[in-house]
């Protein structure tokens, strides 16, 4: 008896099953990427991105200790109005540490006060170039902008910058910030606000001689001569205690200006003859040094004088007062 045998015959090569079921079966037969590989790739990309940011980010910069010491000394000089002294100290600070951005900026500020505009511009450019590659604290970033605005003579913007600094610094730095703000007010011809800022500074730190010195200068400009003399007296006392020869000299000089301004007015309030011009002529006779060497147009604009020059100039004022009293 014959048996019929059946068998499955595979489809010819090159043919594919069709239909939804066949399509799903084909999908599941394809090789798949492991989820673990995907996660690992994402983590690797993140690590590489973080490493790139870490290597290229601006780095915090700590100035060299000696440069920082000189910087602090010079900044105190700027606040006292000793611009020539400060410029010399800051020149040494940037020689010791050329990457100290704020030292370059403060040197630009001192140069501006000494009418050395070209050098001030160079120092300001250097300071801002350095700041692009370092991470300055927020307050120092604002301070750099304040100095930049001051050197550019945008005094209103500088006032705003220093107001921000006053709002952000700690209590033990308030007096210094307020003196900087007061100086900005002076440059912006806001003398009442300058006086208020210096008074606040003296209240925060009653031993801060520069606050009393600048207060005396502002009061003198506002023709409040008795109050100015009281402020100078307190500044002199504090400078004597700390044995600050430069500060004491500055107080003596400012007192000389105060005496001169008082004598330039008669008792009835009318202007007297020009003692300042007489003082310059007297100086040429006594010292043999032309007063024009100092580029002095007004007795308040003499920041480029050395200590010895200021003492000589002060001596002329005092000698005239004494001579007048005993004539």
Half-sphere exposure of 145 (CA within 13 A, CB side): 15
Q: Which residue, chain included where needed, has tokens 């489809």?
A: 11
Highest-pLDDT range among 50-59, 181-190, 238-247: 181-190
Confidence of residue 324 (pLDDT cuts 50, 70, 90): very low
Asked whether residue 111 carries a pLDDT value surpassing 50, the answer given is yes
3-state secondary structure of 204: helix
* Cα-based angle 254, 111, 232 (whole degrees, multiple of 5): 15
Q: What are phi and psi of 60, to 5 degrees?
A: -60, 140
Band (pLDDT 50/70/90 cuts) for residue 285 is very low
Instruction: Give the model's confidence band at 278: pLDDT under 50 very low, under 70 low, under 90 confident, else very high.
Output: very low
Q: Where residue 327 falls among pLDDT bands split at 50, 70, 90?
A: very low
Phi and psi of 304, rounded to 5°? -80, -5
Please give the residue that has the higher pLDDT: either 38 or 147.
147
Query: Which has more confidence, 155 or 295?
Result: 155
**305 has a pLDDT exceeding 50:** yes
In tens, the pLDDT along 141-166 reads 999 999 999 999 999 999 999 999 99
* Segments making up each domain of the chain, as ranges: 61-136, 154-205, 206-327
Q: What is the CATH number of domain 61-136?
A: 1.25.40.10
Question: Which residues, 6 or more positions from 269, have their beta carbon under 8 angstroms from its beta carbon?
Answer: none
Q: Is 305 helix (H, G, I), strand (E, B) or coil?
A: coil
Residue 256 contacts residue 315 (beta carbons within 8 Å): no
In three-state secondary structure terms, 114 is coil
Q: Give me the DSSP letters along 3-53.
A: -------PPPTT----SHHHHHHHHHHS----HHHHHHHHHHHHHHHHHHH
Tens digit of pLDDT for each residue in 118-130?
Answer: 999 999 999 999 9
Q: What is the pTM of this model?
A: 0.66
């Amino acid at each position: 008896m014959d048996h019929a045998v059946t068998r499955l015959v595979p489809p010819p090569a090159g043919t594919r099953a069709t239909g939804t079921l066949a399509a799903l079966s084909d999908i599941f037969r394809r090789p798949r990427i492991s989820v673990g590989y995907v996660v690992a790739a994402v983590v690797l990309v993140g690590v590489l991105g973080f490493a790139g940011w870490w290597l290229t980010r601006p780095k915090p910069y700590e100035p060299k200790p000696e440069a920082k010491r000189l910087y602090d000394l010079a900044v105190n000089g700027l606040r006292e109005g000793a611009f020539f002294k400060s410029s010399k100290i800051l020149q040494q600070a940037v020689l010791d540490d050329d990457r100290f951005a704020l030292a370059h900026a403060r040197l630009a500020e001192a140069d501006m006060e000494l009418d050395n505009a070209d050098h001030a511009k160079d120092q300001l450019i250097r300071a801002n170039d350095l700041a692009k590659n370092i991470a300055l604290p927020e307050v120092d970033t604002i301070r750099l902008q304040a100095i930049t605005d001051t050197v550019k003579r945008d005094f209103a913007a500088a006032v705003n910058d220093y107001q921000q600094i006053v709002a952000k610094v700690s209590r033990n730095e308030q007096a210094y910030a307020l003196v900087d703000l007061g100086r900005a007010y002076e440059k912006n011809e806001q003398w009442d606000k300058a006086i208020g800022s210096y008074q606040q500074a003296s209240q925060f730190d009653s031993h801060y001689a520069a606050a009393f010195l600048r207060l005396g200068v502002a009061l003198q400009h506002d023709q409040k001569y008795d109050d100015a003399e009281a402020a100078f007296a307190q500044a002199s006392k504090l400078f004597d205690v700390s044995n600050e020869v430069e500060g004491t000299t500055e107080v003596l000089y400012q007192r000389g200006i105060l005496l001169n301004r008082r004598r330039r007015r008669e008792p009835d309030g009318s202007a007297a003859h020009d003692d300042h011009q007489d003082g310059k002529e007297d100086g040429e006779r006594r010292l043999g040094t032309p007063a024009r060497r100092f580029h002095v147009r007004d007795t308040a604009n003499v920041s480029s004088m050395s200590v010895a020059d200021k003492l000589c100039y002060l001596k002329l004022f005092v000698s005239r007062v004494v001579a007048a009293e005993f004539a």
